[in-house]
Amino acid sequence: MARTLIIRFGALGDLCICGWFMAGLADAAPGTRTTLVTKARFAALAEAFAGVDRVAPLRGRGPAGLLALSRALKRDRHDTVLDAHGVLRSHLLALFMGRRPDARIRKDTVERLRLLRRPTPSPDIPPPALDRHLLDRFVALAGPVTDTVVKPRPPLAHLRPAGPPAPRVGLAPGARWETKRWPNDRFARLLDLLREAAGVPVTLFLGPQETSWYRGSRLAEAVAHRDDVDVVRDRGLLDVADALARCSVVVTNDSGLLHLSEAVGTPVVAIFGPTVRAFGYFPLSPRSRVLETDLDCRPCSRTGSRACHRNDLACLTQIGAEAACDAVLDLVGPGAGGGT
């Protein structure tokens, strides 16, 4: 049996997108046993991915952890090594293994930086070099493993309940950077609109980074007055994935939960502010929707971490709750929950 090693550290969203590739690669090369190298905190989730036979987690930081991991990996004698990250850490791991990767991801970093230095006519029209998704960059690695066309698929779709789930809307108001978060009062307004339009129950997803702003917020106040809102907070990623799989649609910022939602097969209504499609992280599901504002200052940074130079976050504040509600109802249907 052929053995393939795939190296991808990165963030949650990156890993979930890579999961689409690995699930498709397993279909295209059924005789291959795939080992995934990733961060230890993602190991339990990655073990559930379709197409992943084994996870080799990186523990600790610095060269010592890479050296220990490289020794363990060398014993497996992989036929193919794919560097799906292309960073110093993945370069060092391959070096310590004494193995040159058979393929390494092309990141188009220079083209992305150029995009930040000049205006774009529309966020929907990326420069030619960036007119592809991160998933396309992963799929381009498949050549050393198979000649068959890789057809990516959601790697955690098996977590979805059998049959169509009862209507439920997920709200994921967090993001790593404040400048990527749709204002929490918009999420609160969306809660009210959904109750008025459809009466669909809601699951609110909160992580550790939401602690600083959620307490005392307009959204927290709205949730406190509702008995049809479940709060999923500070759970393991597999538990979060399971809860996302029970939603009909998830309203989310440009965050890891966007990609985890799609990984379980749940479409999203994704709100994009400072980041744009050309960066390669737009939703993958044909059912998903994107809400964004066409401003000539977008994109303003590669990750959305830079402070808004306008001081008004217009790219986010100009997106109304009514637009989000309409997009949600397109997916779950008006009156789905029996509301008025």
Q: What is the DSSP letter of 307?
A: P
Task: Tell me which of 3.40.190.10, 1.10.10.10, 3.40.50.1820, 3.40.50.2000 is the CATH number of domain 167-331.
Answer: 3.40.50.2000
318 SS3 class: coil
Q: Which two tokens stand for residue 61?
A: 């930081």
333 confidence band (pLDDT: 50, 70, 90): confident
Q: Are 195 and 222 in contact (CB under 8 A)?
A: no
Q: At what angle do helices 184-197 and 321-332 cross, to 10 degrees?
A: 40
Pair 263, 20: CB distance under 8 Å: yes
Distance CA 68, CA 300 (A): 40
> Torsion angle, CA of 11/67/139/12, rounded to 10 degrees?
-10
Spatial contact of 72 and 56, defined as CB atoms under 8 Å apart: yes
Pairing of strands 202-206, 103-104: unpaired
Distance CA 223, CA 217 (A): 10
- Stretch 166-190: mean pLDDT, rounded? 94
Of 149, 174, 134, 172, which is closest to residue 19 (Cα–Cα)? 134
Q: What is the pLDDT of residues 18-62, one digit of tens each?
A: 999 999 999 999 999 999 999 999 999 999 999 999 999 999 878
Q: Measured between alpha carbons, how far is 48 from 197 in angstroms, rounded to an integer?
A: 36
Statement: residue 121 has pLDDT above 50: no
Indicate where the chain has its CATH 3.40.50.2000 domain(s): 2-105, 167-331
Residue 311: pLDDT band (50, 70, 90) is confident
Whether 247 has a pLDDT exceeding 90, the answer reads yes
C-alpha angle 252/258/264, rounded to 5°?
Answer: 125
Higher pLDDT, 209 or 47: 47
pTM of the entire predicted model:
0.92
Is CATH 3.40.50.2000 what the domain over 2-105 is classified as, yes or no?
A: yes
Q: Which range in 113-127, 201-215, 298-312 is most confidently predicted, on average pLDDT? A: 201-215
